[in-house]
Amino acid sequence: MATTREKLEEAGKKILNNSRTELYLSMRFMGIALNSLDYKLDLTTTTVGTDADFIRFNPAYLLKMYIAEPRLLNRCYVHMILHCLFRHMFTAQEKEDPELWDLCCDIAAESVVDSMTYDVIARTHSPFREEWYERLESEVKILTAEKIYAWFLDRERNYAVEE
């Protein structure tokens, strides 16, 4: 008889497999990348993430996201794959400001996801996000994590959000 933990792990893996399948059907060019990570139950996280070997997941988070907004789960899956393809996690320790590096990696990954026109990951972009993309693209040109990070390092940081 399966334990509760085993049932939770099985449910999480089924959800991630469903997401991967849906992505694969729309984005066959991502097939190898989509199949590159195994899944692992991780109750130390409250969400989902990757360490470049596994997609580590909290089953409660996956279930809630899968029911409420499956496209966001698909976007999250692609976002994690992009972090791996861009090798973001392997250069983090070289950065003087790891939190800024993480933010820049997320901006770079999200800009790619936002540029994709597939229904399985479709999302309306906020004006705030669009303004930042325009600003960064006008000054950085190509939105790589490295270039965004260098751009932010050259500026005084103001963490207040202006309306």
Query: Along the 163 residues of the chain, how does pLDDT read in single tens digits?
Result: 889 999 999 999 999 999 999 999 999 999 999 999 999 999 999 999 999 999 999 999 999 999 999 999 999 999 999 999 999 988 777 888 889 999 999 999 999 999 999 999 999 889 999 999 999 999 999 999 999 999 999 887 666 665 5
Q: Which residues contact 44 (CB under 8 A, 6 or more apart)?
A: none
Scan for tokens 């229904």, then name that residue: 119
Q: What is the Cα–Cα distance from 24 to 157, expressed in whole angstroms?
A: 40
Query: Which pLDDT value is given to residue 159?
Result: 63
Query: Which pLDDT value is given to residue 160?
Result: 63
Q: Which residues contact 81 (CB under 8 A, 6 or more apart)?
A: 30, 33, 34, 36, 37
Is the separation of the CB atoms in 15 and 66 below 8 Å? yes
pTM: 0.90
- Locate 158 and state its tokens: 């103001």
Angular region, 41: left φ>0, alpha ψ -120 to 50, beta rest: beta
